[in-house]
A and B are shown apart, each in its own frame.
Chain A
């Protein structure tokens, strides 16, 4: 089974500042997807950004961007110009292409608090 590790249980950031969340994963495969999900206090899981392993270019979605380092098996999320609405738990997730391509493996999450 794939292992996804988020080493930062909690992060705090001032509004309008930037915060970076770390994620590492363990796999021996080459073809996979990586995701960041956001879970605000409402508990609704929301997809923030996804990255395909074969794409070298880092994915970007508005204020959210990733730094994908395939050789290091690292997938960090940068939130720029943080807003109060970004306060949430953020989960890194891994999905293997192929016969198990339904199975998302999640990290333990990082709680982000944006301070006014």
Chain B
């Protein structure tokens, strides 16, 4: 099982550029999440989705957009990249919400904005 996959693994952007981070899961999970991890910090929730067509903001949504057209895919869009968006981005999924359901994480995308 591939689980949660993310592409690309690394990316360098110039200020003002845009890009999409891809996330795909093959576990038929309803819930999907995007987190960012800044150096020396824990993960912070950017956006989440409870199913295809439904998304909502997390703790730090500014500067990002998401869509969920299928159960499998949950891309994260950065518009007008800024140095403050330099971070490691993790996608995760879970079959449902609640602590009884483990969130499975992808391997992360390291993004540098210069």
Report yes or no: B99 in contact with A50, Cβ–Cβ below 8 A: yes
Given known A-B contacts A35-B99, A50-B99, A43 and B43 have beta carbons under 8 A apart? no
In contact, B42 and A109 (Cβ under 8 angstroms):
yes
Known contacts A33-B99, A95-B99; is A108 also within 8 Å of B42 by CB?
yes
Q: Is the CB of B33 within 8 A of A108?
A: no
The size class of the interface chain B forms with chain A is 20 to 34
Interface residues on A, range: 20 to 34
Residue pair A42, B107 in contact (C-beta under 8 Å): yes
Residues from chain B with Cβ under 8 Å of A45 in the complex: 43, 90, 92, 105
Determine if A44 and B99 form an interchain contact, defined as CB atoms under 8 angstroms apart: no
**How many angstroms between the C-alpha atoms of A97 and B48 in the bound complex?**
17
Most buried by B among A4, A33, A42, A45: A45
A positions within 8 Å CB-CB of B = 1, 4, 9, 32-33, 35, 42-47, 50, 52, 91, 93, 95, 97, 101-109
